[in-house]
């Protein structure tokens, strides 16, 4: 490889990506809010539209008698059903949540959601211009 090729490759790696436009950030945040506000409202349709059909929602549980490096697993259907049951339904005056976009590429985003009860880390994907949550890794906060 020539010196010029090395310099050009290094410059390409060192160049930061362009800033994400406000409309994209707003669309990503809206998906995060559909996920959490839908659960807090007990609105399964709102939660469902935020989720990829093949959602992988997981929590670290650690080693169990049945599994090394155990994970609690949940599908889109399970999360929507829990929402239908009102498991997280909470009066609006008690809502305290934040969505923070950590990273965005053309078709993917990493987002952190925090509530008083848990923290979720999302991987989102953009499909036909619409952002949905593909993966969620979460943990409960101590009560």
The secondary structure of the chain as a DSSP string is --HHHHHHHHHHHHSPPPPPPHHHHHHHHHHHHHHHHHHHHT-HHHHHHTEEEEEEEEEEEE--SS-TTEEEEE-HHHHHHHHHTTTT---GGG---EEEEEEE-SSEEEEEEE-SSEEEEEEEEEETTEEEEEEEEEEEPP-
Please give the mean pLDDT across all residues of the chain: 90
The predicted pLDDT at position 47 comes to: 98
Q: What are the φ/ψ torsions at residue 93 (nearest 5 degrees)?
A: -65, -15
- 66 compared with 105, residue with greater pLDDT: 105
pTM (2 decimals)? 0.84
10 closest CA partner among 19, 1, 23: 1
Tens digits of residue pLDDT in 14-43: 555 567 899 999 999 999 999 999 999 999
- Exposure string of 88-122, with b = 16+ CB inside 10 Å and e = fewer, is bebeeeeeebebebeebeeeebbbebebeeeebeb
């Amino acid at each position: 490889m020539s010196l010029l090729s090395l310099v050009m490759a290094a410059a390409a790696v060192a160049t930061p990506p362009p800033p994400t436009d406000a409309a994209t950030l707003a669309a990503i945040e809206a998906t995060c809010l559909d996920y959490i506000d839908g659960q807090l409202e007990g609105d399964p349709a709102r939660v469902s539209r935020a989720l990829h059909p093949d959602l992988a929602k997981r929590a670290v549980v650690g080693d169990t008698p049945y599994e090394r490096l155990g994970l609690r697993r949940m599908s889109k259907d399970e999360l929507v059903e829990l929402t239908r049951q009102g498991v997280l339904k909470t009066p609006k005056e008690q809502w305290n949540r934040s969505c923070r976009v950590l990273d965005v590429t053309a078709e993917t985003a990493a987002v952190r959601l925090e509530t008083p009860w848990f923290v979720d880390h999302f991987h989102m994907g953009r499909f036909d211009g619409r952002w949905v949550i593909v993966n969620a890794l979460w943990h409960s906060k101590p009560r």
